[in-house]
Amino acid sequence: PLKRKIGTDFHPENGGCGSTDTGVKVIVRMRPLSSNEEGETIVQKTSSDSLSMLGHQFTFDHVADIDIFQIVGAPLVENCLAGFNSSIFAYGQTGSGKTYTIWGPANTLLEETSSSKEQGLTPRVFARLFSRINEEQNIHADKQLMYQCRCSFLEIYNEQITDLLNPSQRNLHLREDSKTGVYVENLTEETICCMKDVTQLLKKGLSNRRTGSTSLNSESSRSHSVFTCVVESSCKSVDGLRCFKTSRMNLVDLAGSERQKLTGAAGERLKEAGNINRSLSQLGNLINILAEVSQTGKQRHIPYRDSKLTFLLQESLGGNAKLAMICAISPAQSCKNETFSTLRFAQRAKAIKNKAIVNEK
Ligand code: ADP
């Protein structure tokens, strides 16, 4: 079996280079009460990394708000340029702010004119990626540093993968080979050179999601969407040969974590509800196992293949990958149970420490 390290060296302040922090960062983001929610907020931020809820205290890596780009977006880009597979996941119940965080507030979602403070993580991450690539190329002009960025956008719904850049491609298959690792067969990949290219891809992909609505139980709230950018760089080394580096960035808007209602479901509908739960609960299982392995040091088989989501992202979940898990919560009384369960999930994720050696199949 292959020996792998679970994440090392992630640190937001220095872009993940050179520190001895963990591979998983857990950030909680609390949205404000909406106009139709009444009463007091039941969650209070008590410091930059902690909050309290009904007498329980929780501590994470950050409790973030508008500074979220500095905390997870900028490090994502630095980690990726340093050659690490790097991901941001948004986890939480429907309506807690995942879409707002990953793609941006609805009205500014794809407007190139909106100020960066108003934008979601994805547009800001790509603006930073392009400016950092420019900077690196200037700094290393003597090494003829070249970059190529390719993006894909997919949705996993009911354990089926759809290509959001070409939605006629449904039920795509996951494949694995020793050279490329895990990949989706026939998935569209588009080369991007500037923000306009990214905006066009996002527009196209987001309009192809199952439904635009985020109401509870809508199909979009029950699907995961994964926007991936493969960054390849090549430069001239001292001996005159060209060296190559490849890493990938994933921005993942997960399905709503609320319990799916199975009442009255039968046949296909029942199967579907089971499948929809499966990849999220499998992600939870993985988080538990990775946390246990890193705490006890005991080796365990990591069941990445048990769902499409974890199989697809296995190289971004373990090993030397960098993962920022944004757990979105609502402070409303009506969301009490789901908020509590999200905070518990976040605490388990935070228990994953670096430098644990695991066996992997
Ligand atoms: P989800 O994707 O988790 O279903 P959304 O991102 O659609 O949730 O958010 C639900 C609602 O809350 C939207 O109207 C969104 O604009 C609002 N919202 C979410 N997060 C914030 C935030 N941090 N600040 C202000 N409004 C927010």
Residue 86 pLDDT greater than 90, yes or no: yes
Contact 120, 191 (CB under 8 A): no
- Kindly give the distance from the C-alpha atom of residue 342 to the centroid of ligand 1, in angstroms, as a whole number: 16
Residue 330 is predicted with a pLDDT of: 95
Identify the CATH number of the domain in which residue 330 sits: 3.40.850.10
In terms of residue numbers, what domain contains 166?
2-360
Per the model's pLDDT, the better-predicted residue between 139 and 65 turns out to be: 139
Q: Which residue's CA is minimally distant from atom 23 of ligand 1?
A: 31
Ligand 1: list residues with CB < 6 Å. Answer: 31-32, 34, 92, 94-100, 105, 214, 221, 328
Q: How far apart are CA 352 and CA 49, in angstroms?
A: 17
Binding residues: 92-99
204 or 278: which leads in pLDDT: 204
Q: Above 70 in pLDDT, residue 63? A: yes
Range 166-173 average pLDDT? 93
> Per-residue pLDDT averaged across 303-324, rounded?
87
Mean pLDDT, residues 204-219 taken together: 66
**The pLDDT of residue 265:** 62
Average pLDDT, integer, range 88-108: 88
- Of 18, 8, 35, 114, nearest in space to 353 by CA: 8
DSSP code of residue 33: P
Q: How far apart are CA 233 and CA 255, in angstroms?
A: 33
How many structural domains compose the chain?
1
User: Among the listed ranges 19-23, 54-58, 270-274, which one has the minimum average pLDDT value?
Assistant: 19-23
CA–centroid distance, 155 to ligand 1, in Å, is 20
In this prediction, residues 223-233 reach a mean pLDDT of 95
What is the atom index within ligand 1 of the atom nearest the CA of 65?
Answer: 23
pLDDT above 80 for 114: no
The ipTM, to two decimals, is 0.99
Q: Which atom of ligand 1 is nearest to the CA of 96?
A: 3
Residues 233-286 pLDDT 10s? 998 887 877 888 899 999 999 999 887 665 556 676 677 767 766 788 888 888
Task: Measure 31 CA to ligand 1 centroid, in angstroms.
Answer: 7
Identify which of 31, 36, 329 to mutate to test ligand 1's pocket (most ligand atoms within 8 A of the CB): 31
Residue 41, SS3 per DSSP: coil
CB 194 within 8 Å of CB 260: no
Give the pLDDT band (50/70/90) at residue 150: very high
Q: What's the pLDDT score for residue 22?
A: 54
Q: Residue 186 class from Cβ within 10 Å (0-12 exposed, 13-18 middle, 19+ buried)?
A: exposed
Specify whether the CB–CB gap between 89 and 326 falls below 8 A: yes
209: tokens are: 């999601």
Q: What is the pLDDT of residue 9?
A: 33
Question: What pLDDT is attached to residue 353?
Answer: 65
Q: Considering only CA atoms, which of 16, 65, 22 is closest in space to residue 349?
A: 22
Judged against a pLDDT cut of 70, whether residue 200 lies above it is answered with yes
Give yes or no for residue 10 having a pLDDT over 90.
no
42: CA distance to ligand 1 center in Å? 17
Least confident of 77-81, 98-102, 109-113: 109-113
Best mutation site among 88, 99, 100 for ligand 1 pocket (most ligand atoms within 8 Å of CB)? 100
Nearest to 254 by CA among 17, 88, 108: 88
Q: How many CB atoms lie within 10 A of CB 221?
A: 21
Separation CA 327–CA 238 (nearest Å): 44
Spell out the residues 6+ positions from residue 9 whose beta carbon is closer than 8 angstroms to its own: 16, 17, 18, 19, 20, 21, 23, 320, 322, 354
- Residue 111: C-alpha distances to residues 22, 116, 133, 153 (Å): 35, 10, 23, 19
Ligand 1 centre to CA of 253 (Å) is: 13
* Ligand 1 atom nearest to CA at 328: 3
The residues facing 45 across adjacent strands are 51
Amino acid making up residue 303? P
Query: What residue's CA is closest to ligand 1, atom 26?
Result: 31
Q: Whose CA is nearest to atom 22 of ligand 1?
A: 31
- Please tell me the residue having the least CA distance from ligand 1 atom 19: 97
Residue closest via CA to ligand 1's atom 10 equals 95
**Backbone region of residue 181 per phi and psi (left: phi > 0; alpha: psi in -120 to 50; beta: other values):** left
